[in-house]
Amino acid sequence: MKSAKTRSNVIVHIILAVLAIIWVFPIFWVILTSFRAEKGSYVSTFFPKAYTLGNYVKLFTDTTILNFPKMFVNTLIIAVFSCLLSTFFLLSAAYCLSRLRFRMRKPYMNMAMILGLFPGFMSMVAVYFILKAVGLTEGALIRLALILCYSGGAALSFQIAKGFFDTTPMAIDEAAMIDGCTRWQIFTKITLPLSKPIVIYTILTSFISPWVDFIFAKVICRANADQYTVAIGLWKMLEKEYIDNWYTCFAAGAVLISIPIAILFLKLQKYYVNGLGGAVKG
Amino acid sequence: MNLKRKATALEGRSYPTVAEIFHDGGTTTKCSALVMGLGNMAHKQLCKGMLFLAAELAYIIFMVRSGIHNIAMLPSLGSVPQAEVWNEELQVYLYTKGDQSILILLYGLATLLLTLIFLWIWRGTLRSAYRAEELDRAGQHVPAFSEDLKSLLDENLYRTLMTPPMFFILVLTILPLLFMICMAFTNYSKIDNHLVLFDWVGLSNFATLFDSGSVLGGTFWRVLIWTLVWAFFATFTNYFFGMILAILINRKGTKAKGFWRFCFVLSCAVPMFVSLLIMRTMLQPEGAVNVLLRSIGVIAPDASLPFFTNAMWARVTVIVINIWVGVPYTLLQLTGVLQNIPTDLYEAADMDGANKVQQFFSITLPYMFYVTTPYLIATFTSNVNNFNVIYLLSGGDPITNLASTAGDTDLLVTWLYKLTIEKQYYNIGAVVGILTFVILAIGSLLTYRNSKSYKEEGGF
């Protein structure tokens, strides 16, 4: 009995190790590339022949063609604000739909369902026209436009958060109500603290979307190079006219923008694990 | 009380219909249909009434100044082309401002949407007036403005919380969608140069796309089938792989749980955009993977695996890479849900002598399907609409049929992107979008409504 257990443990650990290597390999490779001294995207050896920090230096000093520091700041601003807005939108919608009963509840859920079925950027051109009509497509206002784009539809993807709220016991809410809490207090002081995993999940995903998305950013920024986000910048580095000079810088940029996100992720991932374990049982 | 009212009463407070209000309401209540807020003002709700009146005035001013014109232009979509006029004084040609169909369509739709919202507010004022009148007549306390505000944080909290998101959804999701849907019925396209002025053409765009003899039609069916195949594999490979991984990491015997999770989450921490581009460069004929395979002697020194140049290879590659990209996310999402499974279920199963595999199939899977059906449907649809993975990885390549506008790994969405942004066939793009929607709608609405978690929320 005991040996069977050890054997299955060993097998599981081997499987995990192999998988972990597969998952970490590309990241390892891009870190290597970011320190590579040879230029160009095609190499004949896996490990670089010489190492350098020059790629990082170039990224921040060579601002004539692609102004990376500026893009970084742009994206950070957009990410912070759209994260705040969309987290608020999404969680409040999820809470209302899970805990409150109102007439528009089912219609809203059906509507969200239906809207989610349309290809996301089918409306992209139209969104651009609308933002243009209200004058948000010039200069620094592009940032506001992008923030709105990223957070505007957040309340439509409430499903995961709602599912989570649904599994937290209604008894807690009822007890609080008897103690004289308003629903707003229940939402902020009970439901949210009890739902840390989902709150953090929401924050993370909404913080990340501006870093990942380049299609929307590209359509809305158009030729306004000083409003570019990191994603457009990195994409540009891989275009034919830049790739020979900028490929290793692309890797350096990739490493750099991954760092803040990685830190956030690793700091906060424990909330996923702890979950609701034992808030109210039975 | 009719049946419908009873049904709505279950979802919240019951509301009288407009007809009932006109039948039962007093004079001031009836008058609020014309002068919004009058009923409230007459029944001790001055502030509320003033707000309603202000809304009405704002709407009327807007309609008179531009709204009516906007709607009147909708049927024709404008007909005045831009023209050159010789200006005698300045001795130059000046351009007159012609009609721009696209703006006419946008403003017209926005006005219609605003009118709908206004009608909704109008109904709200009638109800509010009726309620105030009822309370006043019965000698009960009519809520003061401050009490109304306070209730927005309590029993009416949903209004406070839902209004801002709803506003943005209307402006940035619904309005643009309606706008694009309208485009499907016009000839707004680079074909025949209809980019400034265009007209309604009815269903002819749909006819073009359904005609499998034409180039566009043939491409459509091919892309559609691949899209469905892709979405199926992308969804379920990720789901099961992520779930099994989560179980493996979280089982009792596994050591260093944090470390394993770290390894997988690390690839999550790299933005998907970046990791996809990295993957793409790695899988190029001269990329890292081929270099590595050559140096360890798996393939000949001058050979390379056709990751994105052979149709079949490209299709398998995108699905496999999608597992690499998606599983860490699935892992994180499902870990929380897996830990919500009541542990006593497993304890009972252990007592009855069920092994781990049996437990997985009779406890974990049913519970997971129950809780995550909406999630699965959402994932499936988002995979049908998965632009990033395909566009950044393969860009729809390889293109084997040079006449068509789509490559072999193009999904409906990436094809839509190519049609609208690159080719400027806006109308055909819109039709593709609508058809994507129709296909998804039929499939998922049926499964969603039949799923347990929709029928009996919070029952498990």
Q: Which residue has the tokens 């020194």?
A: B301
Domain count, chain B: 2
Contact B317, B325 (CB under 8 A): no
| Nearest-by-CA chain B residue for A222 | B421
By CA distance, what is B344's nearest residue in A? A282
Nearest to A275 by CA among A206, A205, A193: A193
Q: Does B324 touch chain A (CB under 8 A)?
A: yes
Q: Residue B61: its pLDDT value, please?
A: 95
In this structure, the answer to whether residues B400 and B257 fall within a common structural domain is yes
CB contact under 8 A, B440 and A120: no
Domain spans of chain A, in order of start: 58-274
Mean pLDDT of B90-116: 86
**Are B150 and B60 within one domain?**
yes
- Most confidently modeled range among A23-37, B280-294, B399-413: A23-37
Q: What are phi and psi of A176, to 5 degrees?
A: -65, -40
Comparing CB atoms, the residue among B107, B157, B265 nearest residue A184 is: B157
Contacts of B157 in chain A (CB under 8 A): 96, 100, 182-184, 187
Cβ pairs A/B, distance under 8 A: 304
- Taking 80 as the threshold, does the pLDDT of residue B34 lie above it? yes
* Confidence bin at B459 (pLDDT 50/70/90): very low
Residue B191: inside a domain, yes or no?
no
Give Cα separations from A275 to B255, B279, B452 (angstroms).
Answer: 20, 33, 24
- Tracing tokens 């919500």 back to the chain, one arrives at B340
Structure tokens at A175: 């007890």
B353 & B426 share domain? yes
The crossing angle, in degrees rounded to 10, of helices A124-133 and A141-152 is 140
Q: How far apart are CA B22 and CA B12, in angstroms?
A: 23
Question: What average pLDDT does range B27-53 have in this prediction?
Answer: 88
Q: How many residues are there in chain A? A: 282
The distance of B88 to chain A (nearest Cα, Å) reads: 33
Biggest CA-to-CA distance, chain B = 99
The SS3 assignment for A78 reads helix
- Model pLDDT, residue B455: 61
Q: Does A210 score more than 70 pLDDT?
A: yes
Report the alpha-carbon distance of residue B346 to residue A55 in Å, rounded: 53
Q: Which residues contact A43 (CB under 8 A, 6 or more apart)?
A: A36, B288, B291
**Pair B398, B311: CB distance under 8 Å:** yes
Say if residue B2's pLDDT is above 70: no
Q: Do residues B104 and B198 touch, judged by C-beta distance below 8 A?
A: no
Q: Which residue of B has its CA nearest to A265?
A: B269
Q: Is the Cβ–Cβ distance between B129 and B43 less than 8 Å? A: yes
- Per the CB < 8 A criterion, the answer to whether B291 and B305 are in contact is no
pLDDT band at B56 (very low <50, low <70, confident <90, very high): very high
Exposure on the CB side of residue A129, measured as CA atoms within 13 A: 21
Asked if residue B286 belongs to a domain, the reply is: yes
- The reply to whether B288 and B397 lie within a common domain is yes
Contact B310, B394 (CB under 8 A): no
Query: From residue B115, how far is each of A127, A142, B61, B112, B120 by CA, in Å?
Result: 20, 29, 13, 5, 9
pLDDT tens-digit readout, B322-338: 998 888 888 877 877 78
Beta-bridged to residue B200, according to DSSP, are B186
Q: Verify that B151 and B242 share a domain, yes or no.
A: no
Identify which of A127, A156, A254 has the shortest CB distance to residue B176: A127
**Span B249-267, mean pLDDT?**
81
Inter-chain touch A119–B332, beta carbons under 8 Å: no
For residue A202, pLDDT over 70 is answered with: yes
Checking if the pLDDT of B9 tops 80, the result is no
Q: Are residues B51 and B15 in the same domain?
A: yes
Contact indicator for B106, A125 with CB cutoff of 8 Å: no
Contacts of B23 (CB under 8 A, 6+ apart): none
Do the bridges between strand B84-87 and strand B92-95 make them parallel or antiparallel, or are there none, so unpaired?
antiparallel
CA A221 – CA A213 distance, rounded (Å): 12
A125 neighbourhood in chain B, CB within 8 Å:
180, 420-421, 426
Residues 6+ apart with CB under 8 A from B123: B18
Q: Is the pLDDT of residue A51 over 90?
A: no
Residues B271 and B163 in one domain: no
- Options 1.10.3720.10, 2.40.40.20, 3.40.50.1100, 3.30.540.10; CATH for A58-274 is 1.10.3720.10
In a domain, B87, yes or no: yes
> How does residue B454 score in pLDDT terms, banded at 50, 70 and 90?
low
* Res B229: pLDDT: 93
Say if CB A166 and CB A98 are below 8 A apart: yes
Question: Do B46 and B178 share a domain, yes or no?
Answer: yes
In this structure, are B321 and B209 located in the same domain? Answer: yes
Comparing CA positions, the residue from A150, A157, A260 lying closest to residue A214 is A150
Helix (H, G, I), strand (E, B) or coil at A140: coil
Mean pLDDT calculated for residue range B377-397:
83
User: Is residue B198 in a domain?
Assistant: no
Helix (H) or strand (E) holding A176: helix A170-178
Q: By C-alpha distance, which of A72, A69, A70, A81 is closest to A207?
A: A81
What residue numbers bound the domain in which B296 lies?
A: 204-455
CA distance A100 to A91: 13
Q: Could you tell me if B270 and B412 lie in one domain?
A: yes
In whole angstroms, what is the distance from residue B4 CA to residue B6 CA?
5
Residues near B134 by beta carbon (within 8 Å), at least 6 away in sequence:
none
- pTM assigned to the model: 0.79
Task: Annotate chain B with three-state secondary structure.
Answer: CCHHHHHHHHHCCCCCCHHHHHHHCCHHHHHCCCCCCHHHHHCCCHHHHHHHHHHHHHHHHHHHHHHHHHHHHCCCCCCCCCCEEEECCCCEEEECCCCCHHHHHHHHHHHHHHHHHHHHHHHHHHHHHHHHHHHHHCCCCCCCHHHHHHHCCCCCHHHHHHHHHHHHHHHHHHHHHHHHHHHCCECCCCCCCCCCCCCECCCHHHHHHHCCCCHHHHHHHHHHHHHHHHHHHHHHHHHHHHHHHHHHHHCCCCCCHHHHHHHHHHHHHCCHHHHHHHHHHHCCCCCHHHHHHHHCCCCCCCCCCCCCCCHHHHHHHHHHHHHHHHHHHHHHHHHHHHHCCCHHHHHHHHHCCCCHHHHHHHHHHHHHHHHHHHHHHHHHHHHHCCHHHHHHHCCCCCCCCCCCCCCCCCCHHHHHHHHHHHCCCHHHHHHHHHHHHHHHHHHHHHHHHHCHHHHCCCCC
Torsion of the alpha carbons at A93, A97, A99 and A101, rounded to the nearest 10: 120
The more confident residue out of A202 and B94 is A202
Residue A281 above 60 pLDDT? no
In a domain, B402, yes or no: yes
* B339 contacts on A by Cβ (under 8 Å): 273, 275-277
CA distance B162 to A90: 10
Rounded distance between C-alpha atoms, residue B122 and residue B53, angstroms? 10
In a domain, B194, yes or no: no
A 10 A CB-CB count for B430 gives 29
Candidate from A95, A125, A254 with C-beta closest to B161 = A95
Identify which of B406, B266, B225, B431 has the alpha carbon closest to the alpha carbon of residue A255.
B266
**Cβ neighbours of A22 (radius 10 Å):** 14
Q: How far is A127 from chain B (nearest CA, A)?
A: 6
Say which of B154, B169, B371 has its CB closest to residue A183: B154
Taking the Cβ of residue B385 and every Cβ of chain A, the question of whether any pair is shorter than 8 Å is answered with: yes
Q: How confident is residue A1, by pLDDT bands cut at 50, 70 and 90?
A: low
Using CB atoms and an 8 Å cut-off, which of residues 291-320 of chain B contact chain A?
291-292, 295
Q: Does any domain span residue B460? A: no
**Residue A181 three-state SS:** coil
pLDDT at A44: 65
Interacting residues of A31 by C-beta distance below 8 A, sequence separation 6+: A251, A255
A-chain residues within 8 Å CB-CB of B382?
116
Residue A13 has pLDDT above 60, yes or no: yes
Lowest-pLDDT range of A91-100, A127-136, A193-202, B269-278: B269-278
A227 pLDDT exceeds 80?
yes
Taking only the tens place, the pLDDT of each residue in A79-88 is: 999 999 999 9
- Between positions 42 and 71 of B, the ones with CB within 8 A of A are none
- Is B155 a domain residue? yes
* ipTM for this model: 0.82
Q: What is the CATH number of the domain that holds B442?
A: 1.10.3720.10
Q: Which residues lie below 8 Å from residue B386, measured CB to CB, with a gap of 6+?
A: B230, B231, B234, B322, B411, B413
B27, burial (CB in 10 Å: exposed 0-12, middle 13-18, buried 19+):
exposed
- Which positions 339-358 of B are in contact with A (Cβ < 8 Å)? 339-340, 342
Residue A93 has pLDDT above 90, yes or no: yes
The arithmetic mean of pLDDT across residues B287-294, rounded, is: 79
Secondary structure (3-state) at A60: helix
